[in-house]
Amino acid sequence: MPRTSGRNKGKVRWSKLYSFSCLRTDTVEDATAQQFGGPGFTRVAFCNQPNLHKKGPFRYPNNSISMTKYNFVTFLPKSLFEQFRRVANLYFLLAAVLSVTSLAAFSPPSVIAPLVFVVGISIAKEALEDWHRFFQDLKVNSRTVKVHVGNGDFVDKPWKALHVGDVVKVVKNDYFPCDLLFLSSSYDDGLCYVETMNLDGETNLKIKRCLEATLALDHDIEIKNFIATIRCEDPNPNLYSFVGNLEFENQLHALSPSQVLLRDSKLRNTDYVYGVVIFSGMDTKVVQNSTASPSKRSRIEKKMDYIIYLLFTVLVLISLISSIGSSLFTQYDMKDWWYLDPSGHDPLFNPKKSPLSGALQFVKALILYGYLIPISLYVSIEVVKVLQAMFINRDIQMYDEETCNSAETRTSNLNEELGQVEMILSDKTGTLTCNQMEFIKCSVAGVSYGGALNEVDLAVSKRMTVDLEKYLSTIEGSGSISQSFDMFQFSISDNSIQKAVKGEDNIKNSNIGNEIYARVGKESTIKGFNFKDEGLLNKNWIDKPQVSDIAMFFRVLALCHTGIPVEDDETRKLNYEAESPEEVAFLIASQEFGFKFCKRTQSAMVLKELDLSSRVEIEREYKLLNLLEFSSSRKRMSVIVSDEDGQIFLLCKGADSIIFDRLANDGKLYQEATNAHLSDYAEDGLRTLALAYRRIEPAEYKKWNSIFTQAKTTIGPEREKLLESASEMIERDMFLLGAVAVEDKLQKGVPECIDKLAQAGLKIWLLTGDKQETAINIGFACSLLRHDMQQIHLNLKKEVNKHEKVLKEDILVQIETAYQATCQEVNKDTPFALVVDGKVLEVVLQSDVRFQFLQLAVNCASVICCRVSPKQKAMITRLVKDYTGKTTLAIGDGANDVGMIQAADIGVGISGMEGMQAVMASDFSLPQFRFLERLLIVHGHWCYKRISKTILYFVYKNIVFGLTLFYYQLYTSFSGEVLYDDWYMVLFNVILTSLPVIALGVLEQDVSSDVCLQFPALYQQGQRNIYFSWTRIIGWIVNAVYASLAIFTLTIYAYSNFAFQKEGMVGDIAHLGATMYTCVIWAVNCQIALVISHFTWIKHLFIWGSISFWYIFLLIYGALPPIDLQRGFRVLPEALGPSPMYWLVTFLVVIVSLLPYFVHIVFQRQFYPMDDHVIQEIKHYRKDVTDSTMWLREQKKSKKKSHIGFSGRVDAKIRYWKEQLRQKKQLIHRSSASSPFF
């Protein structure tokens, strides 16, 4: 079939380079080998025949997805269910129904209107938040992709319009819209690069290969006549398996995961690919790994329900008392009250049927005392949370200038939950790291280069300056000791620390120290290359004694890879594309060192390298003979090349443990030094690889190549074993050249953020799809691990062919042994780190071993889970949440993190480079991980205290108000008379006490944001739930009961025993009700003034304005015509205002009602101050300015001792360093004492 050449045609036929994946048959010899059509294998896709999928049984869902909680059908019933599962709303629904009967104490509108308002506001808020999710779904579903519409024509269609069987064309750097069968690509041999960060978190590119049978379908016109049938497995969440076959041109071809392109992975380094839709929409594997959006409620909100239950119990109790009391009075006393005409016409007061009257009074009392249940609490909390969310969204300190994104509160229901987090489960790639690799250090011929002081060493040096000066001055006390010291070689592990101890870096000079510190954080000007050491740069290495070994080291970097040089069309500079970002970093580094990889053909690689004799750059061509690719089992990669002189070399790079085992006896010259350097690099969190080579004789190569070729062409299950055996034959007797260290670059501020979170008492688990070595390196880089930690590794030992029961027993033994070690007294202060493999988790999470595993994990300072699938992430999160009972937060940035984010109490999505799936499923979104520090320690702490105080104050004011109604019933022999005017009742929660409590919930600050970050221990108040404990709740209820008693008894006593006016007039119910209501308004508003720690003009306006509004209302209300009023006609200007008794009673009652709380807070601050009280006092008296020692001492005390984080690493390094210095000092003194000069 004739074809025109594409842009990438003729570049490289990768199948001829790869040794372990080429030359495999793709034709099914026996069609009956795969039994499709049975359970689990019913999917049939008719390629390029969309009409066949428009009706059953082959009709499948389209490609649209939805992450919303509701749809147009379910919104009303589900949202109403959400609202009326709140017990307060359910009670007021019952009260609203009863309000239309004769038993109502108030008019129906006064009961129904508040309920409709409260529920309506909450439903509108839910609708708005879900509307935002709907638009984000719409944005994803509206992405376009080229779809074949017939006759070889491709048109742009939205993702949601795709159906099973459609042929699509995906171009470079675009996401795959659904799960596709890979047909062909822009490369000649049907290969493409796929980035799967969204699926498994791995940064390295995966290679996918199409079937040989579909290679020719590589242009639009050739898709015209393509007809085929796919039979495969049903939709399932397994990302790493696929079983199916393709019937094409009367032949069956077996399909494997290598031919499947999964939704939300990205096409990289390939111009275009063609694919057929296998699974669409909700059937795709990434969506199958997700779970339905849960409806989350904070712990405080759940506890608030119990408070409502308690208040409802009190309501029923006092209603019962009123019912029984009314029944008794009606039966025994009312017959003597002839003036009330107890004839039985009123069913509420019928002496002949007193039990029925009592029952009816019980129902009426339930409505009358309803103000004990704060209906406005929920809507006020909703308003407060929405306003809190606005402040979080507008926090300029959480705005990222690089991405122009800011923090976003996607659901405000969980604001206060941010202040109670104890466990953080974090993704790695894209969350902690930037998905960028940088070449940092290397060890060549036994010498470490690029070894500048890191941040930990600098922090240690600064804190130990005094000790070092004292130590060095002691050594310099005599000449002989100085000479002894000069000749002495320190054995401290880090070369940079040796320099610091010897004074080579002049850490005693603060100016130079600051320059070094500034240099550490300086960004590299060359992307992927952050190496600083003049020993190798600018071709200075050519004068080194081991120049030949150094040159070979650079040659291995430049030749042992799968990269391709690509010329930039604009700048005409070479860029590199490879399977992994590490290889790109190596190629950039080799170029900077003078070995530039500039060309690759099918059988040759061309370098521009420095000639050692002439010191001139020359071009050399190396013939590529074989490539032994990297795999997780081999942990190494090799190429076999021959130079222009015919010499054959094997160049190898891989894990140090693998390389060291394959060295010749005379190839271990640099092994000891290299091993020490590798330990230092690993402690700095760098990824390391060892480099080695060997020279191969032509006869040996010829013999080996025939064996290797035979293994390559073998078809069957023994092929892999034969290839591995052949590679072992040649990858031996190598000479070690050194090692390289690259950094999986952390996002800005990640170590500092983790350090601050650890000081605040949070535990952090790392869940990643990366391999174990990579995860451990990142653990060191972000200070989740440190060198003195005891690492516990849970791995399956030769799990192949083992029964599940045997595997479970093996894992259980490992777990129990490790747990006993963590519990031993000798290890009490030793930090432990648990590293778990995904295969272990697969067994653990599906068996009864999970509880033993979690018991061990909780005992460890740090937990790292590797090779974890998206579903395992969600399962781990759910288990940790359920087992520990602690508030968990999950944070991630990719589609593979959606399940974890939804399973946690709080889900945080990073709006980074991996799409919007994590953000769409999250409760909060952040541009960078470092903003989590401020979100939790500042906003979480504030919101927790604000919501706690708001709820407690609401309970207080409603009990104060509601109990006065009950006391009046007792006082009036359960008459059922309402003490207050109906308008007074309506205004109490709506206007007169609503604004101050909203100001409290939105603007309250115990300390400023800067102080929150300086004193992370303040965050532990939320973890211990100090401000919303049952002790504090009961305390506020008791305070409210006392205040209501004080208000009622003092007011009644004043009006019952003294004349109301000068003429001897006494007050009636209108005067008594208005006076008592005034006392309530003053008391509850002055109470909130005592609660507030941070006053603003808004709070002053709302508090004193609410009190003032009461008097304004009385004047306006009293001026209305008497026919429109119940009992308020001119009550203030003519009755209350001129009476001194009114003002005196108000003043005395407010003082007496608030006195206990005032005494309590004075006593607490004086004798039992909390952390925030101490800080407030220091700030008030400006001790942070005048006495910095006190301020720093309090700061140090506020930091919880942690085994993880930057500070923990510094503390551990200081202990290690001091011990080393002590031992060296002893050795020096012993050597000087035995010297003949003394």
Active site residues: 427
Three-state DSSP class for 697?
Answer: coil
* β-strand partners of 83: none
Three-state DSSP class for 552?
Answer: helix
Handedness of CA 511, 517, 518, 519 (dihedral sign): positive
Closest CA to 150 of 167, 163, 164, 169: 167
Half-sphere exposure (Cβ direction) of 80: Cα atoms closer than 13 Å: 7
Query: How many C-beta neighbours within 10 Å does residue 477 have?
Result: 10
Closest CA to 1102 of 1027, 1003, 962, 961: 1003
| Angle, alpha carbons 1130-1131-1132 (nearest 5°) | 95
User: Are residues 898 and 908 in contact, defined by beta-carbon separation less than 8 angstroms?
Assistant: no
Query: How many C-beta neighbours within 10 Å does residue 380 have?
Result: 23
Closest CA to 1004 of 1090, 1097, 1092: 1092
Across 1139-1177, b (16+ Cβ under 10 Å) vs e yields: bebbeebbeebbebbbeebeeeeeeeeeeeeebbbebbe
* Size of the chain in residues: 1238
How many Å apart are CA 536 and CA 449, to the nearest integer?
8
How many Å apart are CA 521 and CA 783, to the nearest integer?
16
Three-state DSSP class for 1121?
Answer: coil
How many Å apart are CA 383 and CA 115, to the nearest integer?
15
Three-state DSSP class for 1095?
Answer: coil
Token pair, residue 640, equals 């076999």
Distance of CA 935 to the CA centre of its chain: 11
Across 1025-1062, b (16+ Cβ under 10 Å) vs e yields: bbbbeeeebeebbebbebbbbbbbebbbebbeeeebbe
Q: What distances in angstroms separate CA 884 from CA 814, 853, 881, one per listed residue?
A: 22, 12, 6
Handedness of CA 476, 478, 483, 484 (dihedral sign): negative
Token pair 């005379």 is at which residue? 666
Q: Classify residue 27 by its DSSP letter.
A: B
Token pair, residue 1050, equals 């003092």
Handedness of CA 1143, 1146, 1149, 1153 (dihedral sign): negative
**End-to-end CA separation in angstroms for the chain:** 94
How many Å apart are CA 1032 and CA 1054, to the nearest integer?
33
Question: Backbone phi, then psi, for 181, in 5-degree steps?
Answer: -90, 125
